[in-house]
């Protein structure tokens, strides 16, 4: 059932799913050594039961796509700050987070290694590992199997709790066949699941409605154990079409099939935590003591089919805030759902770029900081610090603010004007952004500011 039907049955404005209120049994229910568990309203981490196998999964999961980085010197690539990663994982683990999601594609291949180092300090049966077959470049059987086996070594494990076919929506069924069927990988993975080296097999999805429908029809053939989707209150009804599909449809279709759902991008790459001043005021007027981000997490966590909500927490402040949100979890009631969806209508009016800062487009062969350019632009639009005409009373102030902050945020050699339109980046974008087109649009805006031709 969907959430509205669920609330009618329960007769409550709060999530009353019995499984999520259970105290954990066994190591994986309570992540810390003291046996801390989840009891709804107790102030401890909220858990959901996977109905397919009884896994007690923390509703807050750690997305390992945005580990903190140390800037490389003398042309060396940036490296993950392992010491800080360990500290973050320690805090998350000791506060009940037991689901960690990574991929060979994250942070140019470094994410799995860092996750393995941090998590291997704890008993293997006290946490769940999710990783992916991210064979976007090399789809050969040899290359794909090597990626699969390498992940075991990097993550220091001999089994995967949750294994995903990575972002199968891009390119639709033809791309799926090329990456997983024609090379024999789907048959290989099904045998690995049968052998127990994969406990749950699913897929992560970005793409069109037709592609999603096609993959769900494969359920009879492949028996997906779970599905990972992008879901947040903005994408619920305002996903960028025609290339993406509204999360409301994704959720309802999976709910019909009783498939456990893992949520990615609950904050849209952080954009729902960096809103315009007027939207922030709207949210703070309702809940002055709660963070802006907590609205987004409470929205997705309010749907009973959701097993886990991933958050890429780069530093301690958002980690602590998210742990607070998911401990003694307080789901949104019907009136609050309507309020936040009306807030999404307001946000949809802002002309931002649909970038989630996943960095799949990187490295750019021409050195452009693609996500940096987009994030800066989005922040300026959301803050209202955007010049739209020389007739504005504060035009000169807004012009200077944008140009100065842009030069500070993005090195000159990595700015949008260096895009040559090669489109190397486009096939890698889960959001199907026309990246060169958007870079050129932003560059034209910047040039208009510099020349006073708005």
Q: Which residues contact 77 (CB under 8 A, 6 or more apart)?
A: 108
Distance CA 264, CA 231 (A): 7
Give per-residue pLDDT as tens, 245-290.
999 999 999 999 999 999 999 999 888 998 888 889 999 999 999 9
Nearest partner of 24 among 67, 57, 52, 69, judged by Cα: 57
The answer to the question of residue 399 being in a domain is yes
pLDDT score of 71: 86
Answer yes or no: do 139 and 251 share one domain: yes
pLDDT class of 28 with cuts at 50, 70, 90: low
Mean pLDDT of 12-16: 36
Percent of the chain residues past pLDDT 70, beyond the cut: 90
pLDDT score of 242: 54
pLDDT at 19 over 70: no
Distance CA 454, CA 450 (A): 9
* CA 327 to mean position of chain CA atoms: 20
Mean pLDDT of 14-27: 36
The CA-CA-CA angle for residues 215, 167, 158, to 5°, reads 100
What does the H/E/C string look like for the chain? Answer: CCHHHHHHHHCCCCCCCHHHHCCCCCCCCCCCCCCCCCCCCCCCECEEECCCCCCEEECEEEECCCCCEECCCCCCCCEECHHHHHHHHHHHHHCCCCEEECCCCHHHHCHHHHHHHHHCCCCHHHCEEEEEECCCCCCCHHHHHHHHHHHHHHHCCCCECEEEECCCCCCHHHHHHHHHHCCCHHHHHHHHHHHCCECCEEEEECCCHHHHHHHHHCHHHHCCCEEEEECCCCHHHHCCCCCCCCHHHHHHHHHHCCCCEEEECCCCCCHHHCCCHHHHHHHHHHCCCCCHHHHHHHHHHCCCCEEEEEECCCCHHHHHHHHHHHECCCCCCHHHHHHHHHHHHHHCCCCCCCCCCCCCCCCCCCCCCHHHHHHHHHHHHHHCCCCCCCCCCCHHHHHHHHHHHHHHHCCHHHCHHHCCCCCCCHHHCCCCCCHHHHHHHHHHHHHHHHHCCC
Domain of 240: which CATH number?
3.20.20.100
Can you tell me whether residue 47 is helix, strand or coil?
Answer: strand
pLDDT at 343 over 50: yes
Cis status, amide bond into 363, omega within 30 of 0: yes
Answer yes or no: do 343 and 376 share one domain: no
Answer yes or no: do 24 and 128 share one domain: yes
pLDDT at 2 over 90: no
> Is the Cβ–Cβ distance between 377 and 352 less than 8 Å?
yes
Distance CA 411, CA 436 (A): 18
The answer to the question of residue 339 being in a domain is yes
Question: At 435, which helix (H) or strand (E)?
Answer: helix 435-451
pLDDT score of 241: 57
The answer to the question of residue 255 being in a domain is yes
Answer yes or no: do 324 and 422 share one domain: no
Using the 3D structure, point to which of 281, 315, 347 is the last residue of a domain: 347
Distance CA 215, CA 365 (A): 33
Answer yes or no: do 388 and 327 share one domain: no
Angstrom CA distances, 186 to 151, 163, 176, 330, stand at: 17, 12, 10, 39
Give per-residue pLDDT as tens, 349-372.
777 787 878 888 888 999 999 989
pLDDT score of 389: 74
Please give the model's pTM, rounded to 2 decimal places.
0.80
Answer yes or no: do 384 and 305 share one domain: no
Answer yes or no: do 104 and 197 share one domain: yes
Answer yes or no: do 336 and 393 share one domain: no
Mean pLDDT of 85-96: 98
Percent of the chain residues past pLDDT 90, beyond the cut: 61
The answer to the question of residue 221 being in a domain is yes
Answer yes or no: do 303 and 166 share one domain: yes
pLDDT score of 29: 46
The answer to the question of residue 328 being in a domain is yes
The pair of three-digit structure tokens given for residue 397, joined into one six-digit string: 């102030």
Answer yes or no: do 339 and 393 share one domain: no
Distance CA 134, CA 428 (A): 11
Pairing of strands 306-311, 261-264: parallel
Give the DSSP letter of residue 24. Answer: P
Mean pLDDT of 287-315: 97
- DSSP character string of 111-161: HHHHHHHHHTTS-GGGSEEEEEE--SS--SHHHHHHHHHHHHHHHT-S-BS
The answer to the question of residue 364 being in a domain is no
Overall number of domains in the chain: 2
Answer yes or no: do 306 and 388 share one domain: no
Answer yes or no: do 378 and 343 share one domain: no
Give per-residue pLDDT as tens, 176-231.
999 999 999 999 999 999 999 999 999 999 889 999 999 999 999 999 999 999 99
Distance CA 439, CA 425 (A): 12
Nearest partner of 430 among 204, 262, 192, judged by Cα: 204
Q: Which residues contact 221 (CB under 8 A, 6 or more apart)?
A: none
Question: What residues make up the domain containing 377?
Answer: 370-451
Mean residue pLDDT of the chain comes to: 87
Give per-residue pLDDT as tens, 364-412.
999 999 989 988 888 887 776 777 777 777 888 888 888 888 999 899 8
pLDDT score of 45: 97
The CA-CA-CA angle for residues 258, 259, 265, to 5°, reads 130
The answer to the question of residue 359 being in a domain is no
The answer to the question of residue 329 being in a domain is yes
Mean pLDDT of 22-48: 50
421: left (phi over 0), alpha (psi -120 to 50) or beta: left
Distance CA 324, CA 46 (A): 10
Using the 3D structure, point to which of 347, 380, 400 is the last residue of a domain: 347
């Amino acid at each position: 059932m969907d959430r509205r039907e669920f609330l009618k049955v329960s007769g409550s404005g709060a999530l009353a799913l019995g499984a999520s209120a259970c105290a954990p049994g066994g190591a994986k229910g309570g992540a810390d050594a003291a046996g801390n568990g989840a009891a709804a309203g107790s102030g401890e981490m909220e858990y959901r039961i996977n109905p397919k196998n009884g896994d007690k999964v923390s509703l807050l999961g750690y997305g390992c796509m945005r580990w903190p980085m140390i800037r490389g010197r003398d042309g060396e690539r940036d490296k993950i700050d392992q010491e800080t990663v360990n500290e973050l994982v320690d805090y998350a683990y000791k506060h009940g987070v037991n689901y960690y999601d990574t991929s060979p594609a994250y942070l140019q291949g470094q994410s799995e290694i860092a996750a393995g180092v941090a998590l291997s300090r704890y008993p293997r049966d006290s946490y769940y590992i999710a990783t992916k077959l991210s064979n976007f470049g090399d789809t050969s059987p040899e290359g794909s199997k090597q990626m699969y086996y390498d992940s075991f070594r990097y993550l220091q494990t001999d089994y995967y709790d949750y294994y995903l076919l990575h972002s199968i929506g891009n390119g639709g069924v033809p791309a799926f066949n090329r990456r997983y069927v024609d090379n024999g990988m789907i048959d290989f993975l099904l045998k690995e699941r049968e052998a127990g080296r994969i406990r749950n097999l699913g897929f992560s999805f970005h793409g069109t409605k037709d592609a999603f429908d096609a993959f769900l029809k494969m359920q009879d053939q492949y028996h997906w154990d779970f599905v990972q989707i992008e879901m947040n209150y903005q994408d619920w009804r305002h996903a960028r079409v025609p290339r993406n599909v509204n999360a409301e449809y994704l959720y309802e279709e999976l709910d019909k099939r009783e498939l456990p759902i893992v949520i990615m991008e609950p904050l849209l790459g952080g954009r729902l935590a960096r809103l315009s001043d007027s939207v922030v005021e709207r949210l703070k007027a309702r809940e002055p003591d709660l963070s802006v981000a907590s609205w987004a997490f409470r929205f997705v966590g309010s749907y009973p089919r959701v097993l886990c909500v991933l958050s890429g927490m780069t530093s301690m402040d958002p980690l602590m805030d998210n742990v607070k949100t998911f401990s003694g979890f307080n789901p949104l009631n019907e009136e609050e759902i309507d309020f936040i969806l009306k807030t999404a209508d307001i946000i949809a009016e802002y002309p931002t770029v649909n970038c989630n800062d996943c960095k799949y487009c990187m490295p750019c062969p021409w050195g452009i900081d693609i996500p940096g350019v987009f994030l800066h632009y989005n922040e300026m639009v959301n803050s209202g610090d955007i010049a739209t005409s020389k007739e504005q009373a504060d035009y000169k102030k807004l012009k200077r603010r944008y140009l100065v902050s842009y030069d500070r945020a993005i090195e000159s050699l990595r700015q949008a004007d260096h895009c040559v339109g090669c489109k190397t980046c486009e096939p890698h974008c889960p959001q199907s952004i026309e990246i060169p087109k958007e870079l050129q649009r932003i560059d034209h805006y910047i040039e208009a500011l510099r020349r006073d031709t708005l």
